[in-house]
Amino acid sequence: MNDDGVSKLHVRTLPGLVPWTEAEQIVKAVRANDVPVWYLLFNDEGHGFQKKTNSDYFGAASVLFWQQHLLAP
């Protein structure tokens, strides 16, 4: 979360990583405080993006999130 009270959470899942259910707990807590959060789950990634399509999607979603929540008047 940044100083503006806006957050973005992305999750990548593969065996051996932190369970995605923990990310969902964070999302629930953030939303309970009326803070905008987008939750992106990439089922076929581990730490870091390996697939260009996932990286591209995350980049585009990040820009859209910033435009809507950080750059909006």
Range of the domain at 60: 7-69
pLDDT for res 21:
85
Q: How confident is the model at residue 42 (pLDDT cuts 50, 70, 90)?
A: confident
- Total tally of structural domains belonging to the chain: 1
Does position 32 have pLDDT exceeding 60, yes or no?
yes
List pLDDT tens digits, range 10-29: 555 556 666 778 888 988 99
Q: Is residue 46 part of a domain?
A: yes
Task: Provide the whole-model pTM.
Answer: 0.69
Cα gap 15→18, rounded to integer Å: 9
User: Residue 25 phi/psi, 5° resolution?
Assistant: -65, -40
Sign of CA dihedral 73, 59, 7, 35: positive
Q: Is residue 51 within 8 Å of 36, Cβ to Cβ?
A: no
Would you place residue 2 in the very low, low, confident or very high pLDDT band (cuts 50, 70, 90)? very low
Residue 40 in domain? yes
| 18 is a domain residue | yes
